[in-house]
Chains A and B, each alone.
Chain A
Amino acid sequence: MANNILNFSLADFFYNDNPDVLSPPDDFSEWINNPIVKHSFSFFEQELLDAPRVSTEILSNLDGQKRQIINLTSYNYLGLSTHPEVLQAAKEALEKYGLGSSGAPLLSGTLDIHTEFARKLAEFKQKEDCILYSSGFGGNVGAIQGMMRKGDYLVMDEKCHRSLVDGGTLSGAKMLFFAHNDMDSLQMMLEKAKGKRTLVVVEGVYSMDGDLANMPEICDLAEQYGAGIFIDEAHSTLMFGENGRGVAEHFGVEDRVGVTFGTLSKSFGGVGGFICANKDLIRYLKGYSSPWNFSCAPSPAVSGGLIKALEVATRDSSLRDKMWENTRYMKKNLLDMNLDLGGTKSQVIPIIIGNSGEKLMTYAEKMQKAGLFLQPVDFPAVPAHSRRFRMSVSSQLTQEEMDTTLSIIEDVIVKDMKN
């Protein structure tokens, strides 16, 4: 390994054959302690010293300095995590119910605010019912694991989130992956699953590329083969569609989608996840979805705040309008610099650097030191030839912050790539 240590990544140490079960693989320690590898990992787990707003402070792992930064990495798309009305509602729920729910939802953890929030989410998504999860990851794992069984088929886009894949593994269903958004490949997989109970699983907005599932054609094909549709709207709820209901609304196919997932940590500004579907399926999930059955119910303060977040984000379109205005501005100016933004159609904007892990890390460091917090996304999270930065555009961005961001990107990335 010594001569090619920098070609290794986290993808290479999953299997552990160290006879000492309490230790990682021998060569993992050799790799992770290499000074260059160590430096790349110093980008991760850096501490924010203030709320994850666009304007915040970081304790940099790179040089130990506290630094005021423009934060385009957090998913706070609509700025709701610090919205004054949301905070007030969270405080009131905290005062009334305390810190925790002290039980799984089935036995004692269900509070009236949980029921109220689930009902409001179901109404918002125009589905019969809703089940709340304490984590977004748990919601996806729990829904897939709760619905599917050995002998069933999951036909998933190859870029689906880990939580969906893990749910599939746990369910015991056969997983077939189709090439990203490729309808011929989807049809080929549906053909293989023909005659079996089949669920097609896609994401509204894909989190590493910012592009959208081709919902009209996916619906046509799924219907042709009698398959159900599950859409993960983690990065699209409250932002896409005339009423903010997501990508399914954007394409006008909501009534053709059986199950819709949303996270509560991104545009909503809290934490958790939810599934909306027909009443009978939600009732069934409450019997078999382990992350619901065996996790404590969501924190009351978070749920109290989230009820208000839903109200604030949907009483008018001002927050998402502002987010879209900012997205258009950033995208136009980044494209004018000839940067490769992949196929983004959303507020998730990748800036694709290419195959050099070294350049990615150098740019990340320079940008952070210049006051822009834009995290590098390296292999194996994305393919080795398309390492990137991933920008999350927020409604909170001011004109000045956008212009400063663009000028840092131009100085650090664009000028270097021209050389």
Chain B
Amino acid sequence: MTKEKVIEVIAENIKENLDDLENETIDPMKSMKDYGANSLDMIEVVSCSMRELNIKVPRAELADIENIDQLADKFMEHADA
């Protein structure tokens, strides 16, 4: 699994779960909040992405993540494990 693939999956789920983003390019250096996500949306995006990538990361480890790129890094750690 490449990091590009992980970012692509996260970006697709952001577009699917949030309004008015169909034609946007998702910038990994931004946070989901920047795209209008509330905490419930974020849980949805993270859960859908983890299911799709077949990984399981404890939420407690996601508390300090600031943007989509860092989320992808965290996912990669668990994909390698």
Contacts and interface: CB of A to CB of B under 8 A. Distances in A.
Interface centre among B40, B51, B59 (most CB of A within 10 A): B59
B59 A12 contact: yes
Contact of A1 (B39, B56, B63): B56
B47 A7 contact: no
12 contacts: A8-B58, A8-B60, A9-B59, A9-B60, A11-B58, A11-B60, A12-B59, A15-B47, A17-B51, A169-B40, A175-B40, A383-B63
A4 interface: yes
Interface residues of B, number: 15
A175 B63 contact: no
Interface string A155-179: 0001000000100010000111100
Given A9-B58, A15-B47, 19 more contacts: A1-B56, A7-B58, A7-B60, A7-B61, A8-B58, A8-B60, A12-B56, A15-B51, A27-B56, A165-B40, A175-B40, A176-B38, A177-B39, A192-B36, A379-B59, A379-B60, A380-B59, A383-B63, A385-B63
Interface in B32-81: 36, 38-40, 43, 47, 51, 56, 58-61, 63, 81
A11 B44 CA distance: 12
Those 8 A-B pairs whose CB atoms lie nearest each other, nearest first: A11-B59, A7-B58, A384-B60, A177-B38, A8-B58, A384-B63, A15-B47, A379-B60
B9 to A, nearest CB: 16
Nearest to B81: A3
A364 to B, nearest CB: 18
A306 to B, nearest CB: 34
Interface of A: 1, 3-4, 7-9, 11-12, 14-15, 17, 27, 158, 165, 169, 174-177, 192, 379-380, 383-385
Interface centre among A165, A177, A385 (most CB of B within 10 A): A177
Nearest to A25: B56
A158 B39 CA distance: 8
B36 to A, nearest CB: 7
A213 to B, nearest CB: 18
A272 to B, nearest CB: 27
A74 to B, nearest CB: 28
A119 B19 CA distance: 43
A4 B58 contact: yes
Nearest to A154: B38
Given A169-B40, A175-B38, A175-B40, A14 B63 contact: no
Contacts of B63: 383-385
A385 B39 CA distance: 17
Contacts of A158: 39
Contact of B58 (A12, A17, A169): A12
A56 B5 CA distance: 57
Contacts of B58: 4, 7-9, 11-12
B72 to A, nearest CB: 19
A1 B81 CA distance: 10
A206 to B, nearest CB: 15
Contacts of B36: 192
A380 B40 CA distance: 13
Interface string B20-40: 000000000000000010111
Contacts of A177: 38-39
Nearest to B36: A192
Contacts of A3: 81
B66 to A, nearest CB: 14
A173 B59 CA distance: 27
Nearest to B59: A11
A1 B61 CA distance: 13
Nearest to A3: B81
A3 B77 CA distance: 14
Interface centre among B51, B60, B63 (most CB of A within 10 A): B60
A14 B42 CA distance: 14
Contacts of A169: 40
A169 B58 CA distance: 25
B64 to A, nearest CB: 8
A175 B41 CA distance: 10
B58 to A, nearest CB: 4
Contacts of B51: 15, 17
Nearest to A380: B59
A193 B61 CA distance: 32
A1 B55 CA distance: 10
A165 B36 CA distance: 17
